[in-house]
Structure 1
Amino acid sequence: MSVRLFAAASAALFALSGCAATSTAAAPGERYYVSVGDSYAAGYKPTGADGGGTSTDGFAYRVAEQTVAHGLPMRLANFGCSGVSTAQLRTEPGCAPTALAPGAPDYGGLSQARAAVEFVSENRGRVGLVTVVVGGNDVRPCLPIGAAPRPDAIDCVTASVERLRTDLAAVLAELRAAAGPDVPIVGVSYPDMLLGYWVTAGAPGRDVAAASVGVFRDLVNPVLRAEYAKVGAEFVDVTEAAQGYVPLTQTTSVPGYGTVPTAVAAACLYTYFCQYGDVHPTADGHRLIAEHVVRAAHIA
């Protein structure tokens, strides 16, 4: 189904099925909440160290539920696609069916960004919120999970972030033009999952965990914040919300791990890294992101 026909077709489905608030069919008087991005947007949930898939446990589905709870009901149109970098989001046609968010529309041969922009444009005046989370897959090759640290990791991250900046700026400009000046756009960053190396990789892991703080705080998140600000978007620094900047000298006791830095304990709580070596949020992590998005969008 093309994006051009998506709203009409989903409305017909809604009339027949009475879908829940997280479906993509907006009822009369409701607006749309459009989710754009990578596996965080798509709600990826690991089922073990080597498996998983997208699910409605993701933060976008929680935000949609909160719009109803707070009397500003919006139907979720989730364009998220697991695994995409910012460049892929902008230019790569389609998304593998297994990587799509639950209930996602077919892109109709378009890139995710173009499909979302067309949807927003065609529903101008009925879109109440747009969220964007992307960039993690841009820098991930510089910080390989389970491998020895790259000696050029900082240079690699710096170069990747500059490429990310260009692609993100283009995507955000198109979304803002399609949505209009008054629609809230909220950009989302990531918890510092690499802090989990503190408890999974011994002494070398502690060095990696400590170095990761600067990567998020000084290299990645300032660029994301600046690009969202240029289009009048809010920015949720999830790294900070997930206690990723708490000094590593501040400690707490965690069953199974003993005394660890508070920031490390939070990484274990909000992501699956300590459990599976997986970078994705737990239920607590998605709940945390949703709470901050709702606040940033002035829904609550």
Structure 2
Amino acid sequence: MAAAAFLGLGVMGFPMAGHLAKAGHQMTVFNRSPAKAQAWSERHGGRHAATPREAAEGAEFVMACVGNDDDLRQICLGPDGAFAGMSKGAVFVDHTTVSAEVTRELAQIAHEAGLGYVDAPVSGGQAGAENGQLSIMCGGDAADFDRAAQVIGVYAKICRRMGAVGAGQLTKMCNQIAIAGLVQALSESLAFARKSGLDTAAVVEVISQGAAGSWQMVNRHATMAEGHFEHGFAVDWMRKDLAICLAAADEVGALLPVTALVDQFYKDVQLMGGGRWDTSALIARLVD
């Protein structure tokens, strides 16, 4: 069992840190809203700290799951940042979906300080985090990954090293690109079924067993048909992720025409007041 810290206790981080505590790791947590960190400690035991640095002191592994590039820099750097509190040889594991650019920047700073760094964005949503069934795609030195994988495996369905630092984030971009197209296609399919007078549940029961089947279809068709979107991964966060994807595509010369179009559809959903709705809310643009 390891001494570990977890920084960021949102809908993903709260249960992920809980799995580490249940597995017997000695946990210290930090959250920008102290009340949430206190609530986590009351539920799971362990200690909550006032700053990332304090949380990271003495930890062999420091995990983070925050919002964006700036949030990540904020908890890592500066006199109160995690890097200032970590001991040489400790490994920082970032579960945030951020740009490959900030990942490489922070990894370089970490390595210069004698720290390991693994970028490890996750897929599987809140349910995956709560059930310990996340898909985790990692980038970093093989030795750092091998050490970290033994710890983060408690909340993973699959945890795989994809290459050097940044490869995890690039793989997460592939994930978000695929999801964007899938959700739009599913939205159009369900909207078409409804306008054609078909029973959407019956349609899904049939087509989900064939080549059209997907996780999104199985897990989101019912709530999409009901117009229920108060759950899951928020549209605002998806647009943040797609902006990262589109910027990276420009850097490598990749064409993402469908992704760019779906990003604008998500903008429409935001203008409808659905910024906090689940990403399946794309169907709201297509039905009355």
Q: TM-score, with normalisation over the residues of structure 2?
A: 0.39
Q: Which of the pair has more CA radius of gyration?
A: 2
Q: TM-score, with normalisation over the residues of structure 1?
A: 0.38
